Amino acid sequence: MIWSRVSTMLLALTLDLLVGDPPNSIHPSAWMGRLIAYAMRFRPQSQASIEMAYGAGITLGGSVLVAGIGGALGKWLTKLHGDRPGNLVTYLIEAAILKSTFSLRGLNKAAKEVQVALEHGDLPAACRFLSWHLVSRDTSTLDGSLISSAAIESVAENTSDGILAPLIYYILGGLPMALMYRFVNTADSMLGYHTPELEWLGKVPARLDDLFNYLPARLTTATIVLSAPFAGGNVYRTWGVMRRDARKTRSPNAGCPMSAMAGALGVELEKVDHYRLGTGGRKPGIGDIRRARSVMFTATAMVTGLVLLLRLWLSPPCSVEGNGGNKK
C-alpha cells in the first residue's frame, strides 16, 4: 500500500507535466463546482444561522460523497486488477484520478501567460490572464508591479493548496482524502467570500479549508524557505521575512507561503488596502514571476523527494528472508 501510493503520486506528477488538465466536461473538480452551483439554487435566504447550516451541509455532504466515490474507485481497482505491485493499468487509472486534484502544469502556464504579456508590454492582456486564472481581485487598475505581485502571490499560495496539499492528503489517506480535500477547497473558492450574499453561507467552507490547509501551508512554506538559494535568495532572510509577515493576511495559511516567497525573491508583495509582505524589499518585476515559478517547481520536487525518503526509511520496497523463515 505504501509503495503503491508513492508510485501513483510520481506517475500522477508525470502525467500532469506531460498531459496537463483534462477538459472540464470530464474534470472531477469541474463536476464538484457544478454540484455546488446546483446546491446553491436551493439556498435559503433568511436567518444567518440557517444559511450557515446550509453551507455546512453542502460542504460536509459533498465531502462525504466524493470521499465515498474515491473509496469505491479504490476497491474497484483492487478487485479488477488485484492488489499486486507493478500493475501498470491500476497505477495509470488511479494516477489519472489523483492528477485531477492538482495542477502543477496549469499553475505554471497561468503564471507564464501573465509574465509573457508583461514582457510584451500588454497590460490589459496581463490583467485578463491574471483575473481569468489566478486571482479574484479587481485587476483593472493594477500597474505592472502590482500585476507581478498578484501573480507571485498566487503562485506561492497555490503551490500549497493547488499542488502539494492534495498530494499530501493522498499519501495520508488515498483517493478518498485527496478528493475530500479538493471538494472542501473548491467549496471555499466558490463560497468563502466576505460579501453580503456569501458571508454566512461560506463560514463553514472557509473554516474547514483553513483546517485542511494548516499543515500543507506550513510544509510548503518550509520548502519555499529552503528553495530560496535557487532563486538567488537567502534562507535566513527568507525565514526572517516569513516570521515577521506571515500573520499580516486575513487567511491564517496564505500569508505563510506568500511571505516566504517575498523573502526568497527579495521583493515586497502588496494587495492594495489589504497587506504588504516583505516590506522593505524592491517592487516585483517580470523576472520575479519567472523566479517564483522556479521556486514552485523546486518546492514540489522537495516535497516529492521527502515523501520518497520517508517511505524508504519507514518501509523498504522489498525485504529478503532467510531460509529459516517461518512457513505456513
Give exposure, 14-39, as e/b (b: 16+ Cβ within 10 Å).
ebbeeeebeeeeeebbbbbbebbeeb
Cβ atoms within 10 Å, residue 199: 14
Residue 45: pLDDT over 50: yes
- The model's confidence at residue 325, banded by pLDDT at 50, 70 and 90, is very low
Measured CA to CA, the distance from residue 308 to residue 30 in angstroms comes to: 30
Over range 53-59, report the average pLDDT: 95
Average of per-residue pLDDT across 43-61: 92
Q: Is the pLDDT of residue 84 over 60?
A: no
Listing DSSP states for 2-69 in one string gives HHHHHHHHHHHHHHHHHH-PPPGGG-HHHHHHHHHHHHHTT---S-HHHHHHHHHHHHHHHHHHHHHH
Percent of the chain past pLDDT 90, that is, above it, reads 71
Amino acid 308: pLDDT: 82
- Check pLDDT > 90 for residue 13: yes
In this structure, of 172-176, 205-209, 250-254, 320-324, the range with the lowest mean pLDDT score is: 320-324
pLDDT score for 1: 56
Q: SS3 for 273?
A: coil
What pLDDT, on the 0 to 100 scale, is given for residue 209?
Answer: 96
Residue with the bigger pLDDT between 322 and 110: it is 110
Mean pLDDT in residue range 289-300? 96
Model confidence pLDDT, tens digit, residues 270-280: 998 899 999 99
Position 88 scores a pLDDT of 75
Q: Name the packing angle between helices 286-314 and 255-265 (round to 10°).
A: 120
pLDDT in tens, 216-254: 999 999 999 999 999 889 999 999 999 999 999 999 999
Q: Which residues partner with 271 through β-bridges?
A: 275
148-180 pLDDT, tens digit each = 999 999 999 999 999 999 999 999 999 999 999
Q: What is the reported pLDDT for 319?
A: 45
pLDDT digits (tens, 9 = 90+) for 24-37: 888 888 999 999 99
Domain locations along the chain: 2-314
Q: How confident is the model at residue 82, as a pLDDT?
A: 57
**Cut 0.85: pTM above it:** yes
Average pLDDT of the residues of the chain: 89
